Amino acid sequence: MIAMLNALPTFRSTIRSLARLCAVSALCVAASSSAFAAKLVLGAKNFTEQYVLAEVTAQYLRSRGYDVEVRSGLGSTLMRSALENGQFDLVWDYTGTAALVYDKLTEKLSPEAMYQRVKALDEPRGLVWLDASSLNDTYAIGLPNQFAESSGIKTVSQLAEYLKTSPDAKHMVFGMDAEFANRPDGLKPLLETYGMHFKRSQMKQMDPGLVYTALHNNQLKIGLVYTTDGRVKGFGIVPLEDDKHFFPPYNAAPVVRKEALEHNPKLAAQLNALSAALNNDVMQDMNKAVDLDGKSPRDVADAFLRTHQLP
């Protein structure tokens, strides 16, 4: 009995040592998990191109050992708020959206100047714009292929001249989505810039998707389209050159929270390589595969990554 009592201090000392060892081990594991940023949350907007970009990015980063959660289906302002609040670690966004919607810029800027401006404005917010791609998802005036070929129209200025001189012009209808028709930087200043005039009966507000279908079926001769939409290529729509540079650039770029880059030293180079692999033709093909060919964004992303060598 005496021997057992004498052994108690040693036993208690051993228990205390084990407890301290467990506590230190737990701290080390927690520190390790934090240092290597176990998960990246990727946000995305609510249209085909964004679903595809999110899927391409998630598959690519997962193949490089990252744990990526995708949260898609958001409008621009909601996605941006989630990024600023730390709910998202990274997104794909557009220079024109940042300049006009988030930062309320009003001056006309070249693509490079706009990129540098939004990048500089976001730096104090802890948001890093990585390399912008040549993918420019901006607006364009689109014509059916047959009309574009027969008229020889290639620029918006040439369209404006045609509308002034051709007797057929009074029968032409210009289709566009309601947002563009009513935006202060949309329809009205476009017509003023190019000196175009349409009667009220010649301007039709439509669902954006119906504009492409109507152009394809020659129900419209003039329509507002987006340059990277797969239906531009799939339906043989000819986007006109914006020769007076009315439409702002909307170059896509990865935007990442600064701490996510600090915790993942290779992430910036990997996303920059992915950005460099994107352009309008590549994006049009991927969007077309989803919107017209019925493929899933997952399958389209997998096909893209199989044909592009990324670090």
The pLDDT mean for the chain works out to 89
Check for a shared fold between 38-136+250-306 and 139-239.
Answer: yes
Domain ranges for the chain, please list them. Answer: 38-136+250-306, 139-239
- pLDDT for position 275: 98
pLDDT in tens, 95-106: 999 999 899 998
Residue 293: pLDDT above 90? yes
- Which stretch of 19-33, 114-128, 138-152 has the lowest confidence by average pLDDT? 19-33
Confidence of residue 175 (pLDDT cuts 50, 70, 90): very high
- pLDDT for position 38: 58
Which amino acid is residue 19, in one-letter code? A
pTM of the model: 0.80
Please name the residues in contact with 193: beta carbons below 8 A apart, sequence gap of 6 or more: 244, 246
Overall size of the chain counted in residues: 311
> Homologous superfamily of 139-239 in CATH?
Osmoprotection protein (prox); domain 2 (3.40.190.120)
- pLDDT for position 69: 98
**Three-state DSSP class for 307?**
coil
Under CATH, what is the fold of the domain 38-136+250-306? D-Maltodextrin-Binding Protein; domain 2 (3.40.190)
Residue 9: pLDDT above 90? no
Helix (H) or strand (E) holding 225: strand 222-226
pLDDT in tens, 176-220: 988 888 877 789 999 999 999 999 999 999 988 899 999 999 999
